[in-house]
Amino acid sequence: MGTSDRIARFILDALESADGTAELQRSSLADRFGCVPSQINYVIATRFSPERGYMVESRRGGGGYIRITRVQPDASQFIMHTVNAVGRELDKPTADALLHNAVNAGALEVPFARLIAAAVSERALHAVPVEIRKTVRSSIFKQMLLTTASDGFFERRSLQ
């Protein structure tokens, strides 16, 4: 297991034992794992981001700390955050990963994820010129997610 993995595991363990919030000191973590503080920053930025369900507060200086809190956004918030994270272009593997995350977070039901995946697939977009395919995919993906996040979508199962 690499240093970044060990740091992440330590932070996850701290979060579990502290009911979802851990307050840590960057320099203490760096000393504990024999690394530079920037590696701690890297682990936090890549593995404890809002996209992954964490809120990070940081205060620098001698008495500084890093406070990491596990947050559980509701389905609508998760979908909105995903839509905001998608840029102007979207490739198919990224779309699949985002859908997988939404299903795992309980923000999207599997049948809807499959429907969106089919709508943004290479097969569905084969008639779209390659130069604009990622842009069209992004637009379709975001619009379909926004539709699922609209009020009452999950309660209305008909097209009425």
Give the model confidence (pLDDT) of 133-154 as tens digits: 999 999 999 999 998 877 555 5
58: nearest Cα among 71, 72, 46, 40:
40
Any domain includes 154: no
Instruction: For the chain, give the percent of residues with pLDDT over 70.
Output: 89
Specify whether 92 is located in the same domain as 122.
yes
- Give the model's pLDDT for residue 156: 46
Residue 110 sits in a domain whose CATH number is: 1.10.1200
Range of the domain at 123: 75-149
- Give the model's pLDDT for residue 112: 93
Specify whether 60 is located in the same domain as 98.
no
User: CA–CA separation, 99 vs 79, rounded Å?
Assistant: 10
- Give the model's pLDDT for residue 1: 82
Tell me: pLDDT of 129 over 70: yes
Tell how strand 21-24 and strand 65-70 pair up: antiparallel
Domain boundary among 70, 90, 113: 70
116: nearest Cα among 61, 153, 152:
153
- Give the model's pLDDT for residue 6: 95
Domain boundary among 54, 70, 86: 70
State the CB neighbour count (10 A cutoff) for residue 22: 21
Residue 26 or residue 63, greater confidence: 26
Mean pLDDT computed over every residue of the chain: 87
Each residue's pLDDT tens digit, 39-85: 998 999 888 887 677 888 888 766 678 899 887 777 888 888 889 88
Question: Where is average pLDDT lowest: 8-17, 91-100, 113-122, 142-151?
Answer: 142-151
Domain boundary among 70, 91, 106: 70
Tell me: pLDDT of 160 over 60: no
Tell me: pLDDT of 35 over 90: yes
User: CA–CA separation, 78 vs 68, rounded Å?
Assistant: 18
pTM of the entire predicted model: 0.59
